[in-house]
């Protein structure tokens, strides 16, 4: 049976996969929880995750697009002037 909520006491380790994805592991080393950031803006990258098929189905149902490394996240560099130079 799957546990509905995962708290800090339930996780043994966490790993930041990249800027938009964090996975938390149980004591047995299996993933307990995934955290996805910026999904609405950039879509979700699942191609390298253990539970890819199940996660892809959930995100499709919720209306979010999947992306992979062949479609990099667009970035925008903002150059700011130092206020001391004004």
Kindly list the averaged pLDDT for each block of 10 residues, start to end, along the chain of length 86: 58 84 87 89 87 92 82 55 55
Q: Which domain holds residue 48?
A: 8-68
Does residue 77 belong to any structural domain of this protein?
A: no
Does residue 18 belong to any structural domain of this protein?
A: yes
pLDDT value of residue 67: 82
Q: Please count the structural domains in the chain.
A: 1
Spell out the residues 6+ positions from residue 12 whose beta carbon is closer than 8 angstroms to its own: 25, 26, 27, 29
Does residue 33 belong to any structural domain of this protein?
A: yes
Does residue 50 belong to any structural domain of this protein?
A: yes
pLDDT value of residue 82: 59
pLDDT value of residue 58: 93
Does residue 17 belong to any structural domain of this protein?
A: yes
3-state DSSP percent of the chain in helix, strand and coil, to 5: 25, 25, 50
pTM of the predicted protein model: 0.64
């Amino acid at each position: 049976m799957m546990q509905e909520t995962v708290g800090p006491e339930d996780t043994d380790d966490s790993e930041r996969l990249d800027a938009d994805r964090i996975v938390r592991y149980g004591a047995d080393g299996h993933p307990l929880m995934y955290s996805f950031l910026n999904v609405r803006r950039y879509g979700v990258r699942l191609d390298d995750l253990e539970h890819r098929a199940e996660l892809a189905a959930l995100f499709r149902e919720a209306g979010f697009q999947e992306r992979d490394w062949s479609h990099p996240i667009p970035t925008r560099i903002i150059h700011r002037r130092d206020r001391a130079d004004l």
